[in-house]
Amino acid sequence: MADQRARAQRDSTTPLIAFRVDWRFNNGPIQVGNTQSTTGILPGQYWPYTHPTPFNVPASGGTLKVWVVGVGDTNHANDTLFFPVDVLNAWATKTVLLEQYTGTWCQFCPIPNAVTNTLNDDPLIIVAKHHNGDELSSASSTAYWQQFGANYSPSGVMEQEEFGTLPDNANYDLWSGWADLRKQGVSPASIGITAGFNAWQRVLTVDLSIGFTAALSGEFVVNAYVVQDNIPGVQVAGGSNYVHQQVVREVMGGASGTAGAIPATTAAGRHIQPPVQHGDPEEWDAGSLRVIATVTEKRNSTSWTVNVAEGEFVLTSVEEHVAPFFRAWPNPASGSAFVQFEQPMPGR
């Protein structure tokens, strides 16, 4: 069940003094709203509206038709919207994915970077910054971004463009409001992450467990980003002591994500565990790494973020020690060599 909230925009030059909003799901009954008086909605202006009848229909798929009935408005060609709707019996909390294209060379990026740093503090918003043309760029990250055709910085993509209906843009002052709207939604999929960092072998391992709350049909792909926080480094127009956050180091599933891990028709409660592994370059600070995992639905080469989650890497081996506490000789050696410790040490 959901409240039905809308806002009506005036297209005509004649002020709209009173209106109501009606809705209908598939061929069900027409739900007539209460008439709302206004001070006169002018062209381009909006008026908020809450429908008295909540949207409460059994689990199903269909089309929600919403239209405005304006008092004295005889033009019905521009007052109706249609939404494809999947009604779920059970759902998971929706988290919003906001991705940025940025670079240390980008003089206009510090402000949007700061905006998204703040948004990332919201537990229902996850930010990933894809660097390009700088020392923080990765080939897989840049390749992933190409699907959006947004080769400018700063640019932002929310929810992987929602099947192309929410294009990339640089309107960072609007991102917070858009994310807040989408946080009110729900998702048919929850994502569990088990991520480990083996310091001995320097290998990152990510296991994803995806639970569906409903049977769905579609093309679903999964992906996982290795993300690093707290990287001190140069940023043009960023001032001194700049620190980079949410930097995508690797898109583990590649530009297109991992297809086939989720069958075209999923069953409610089915769990999928596509493990992904990636060697961890020596220069990454394992302690500041995180993983972001996504489930994406694809339609005609467009994408929508079904859900997104983040997790920490758990150290599965021992910490690197800065100072050497042993020596090996002879070096070079053949056959065998000896290891001398600073002090007696227990076997492991």
Partner 1 sequence: MDGRVVTEQRLASSVDRAELRIPQECAKGSYLLRVASGDRLATTTMQVE
Q: 319: burial class by Cβ within 10 Å (0-12, 13-18, 19+)?
A: exposed
Minimum distance of partner 1 from residue 198's CB (angstroms) = 10
CB count in 10 Å sphere of residue 49: 18
Minimum distance of partner 1 from residue 333's CB (angstroms) = 6
Query: Which residues inside 311-340 make contact with partner 1, applying CB under 8 A?
Result: 317-321, 323-328, 331-340
Minimum distance of partner 1 from residue 200's CB (angstroms) = 7
Among 77-85, 163-171, 197-205, 240-248, which window interacts with partner 1 (CB under 8 A)?
197-205
Residue 186, token pair as written in the block = 């729900």
- Per the document, the length of the chain is 348
Measuring CA to CA, how many Å separate 165 from each of 9, 73, 161, 215? 19, 29, 6, 24
Tokens 């503090």 sit on residue: 121
Minimum distance of partner 1 from residue 286's CB (angstroms) = 12
Say what angle helices 110-119 and 172-183 make with each other, to 10 degrees: 20
When the beta carbons of 1 and 345 are compared against partner 1, the nearer one is: 345
When the beta carbons of 174 and 333 are compared against partner 1, the nearer one is: 333
When the beta carbons of 86 and 285 are compared against partner 1, the nearer one is: 285
Minimum distance of partner 1 from residue 314's CB (angstroms) = 15
One residue of 279, 285, 312, 314 binding partner 1 per CB under 8 A: 279
When the beta carbons of 46 and 325 are compared against partner 1, the nearer one is: 325
When the beta carbons of 121 and 319 are compared against partner 1, the nearer one is: 319
CB count in 10 Å sphere of residue 273: 12
The site string for partner 1 over 200-229 (x = CB under 8 A, - otherwise) reads xxxx--------------------------
Residues 6+ apart with CB under 8 A from 87: 57, 58, 59, 60, 61, 62
Strand (E) or helix (H) holding 192 = strand 189-198
Instruction: Find out whether 106 and 93 touch, Cβ atoms under 8 Å.
Output: no
Minimum distance of partner 1 from residue 202's CB (angstroms) = 7
Binding residue count for partner 1, defined by CB under 8 A:
34
Residue 174 binding partner 1, by CB under 8 A = no
118: helix, coil or strand?
A: helix
CA distance 275 to 281: 19
Measuring CA to CA, how many Å separate 106 from each of 135, 152, 236, 243, 290? 13, 10, 6, 15, 25
| Eight-class DSSP state of 10 | B
When the beta carbons of 3 and 285 are compared against partner 1, the nearer one is: 285
Minimum distance of partner 1 from residue 346's CB (angstroms) = 5
Tokens 């294009």 sit on residue: 167
Minimum distance of partner 1 from residue 342's CB (angstroms) = 8
When the beta carbons of 283 and 341 are compared against partner 1, the nearer one is: 341
Residue ranges in contact with partner 1 by CB under 8 A: 199-203, 279, 317-321, 323-328, 331-341, 343-348
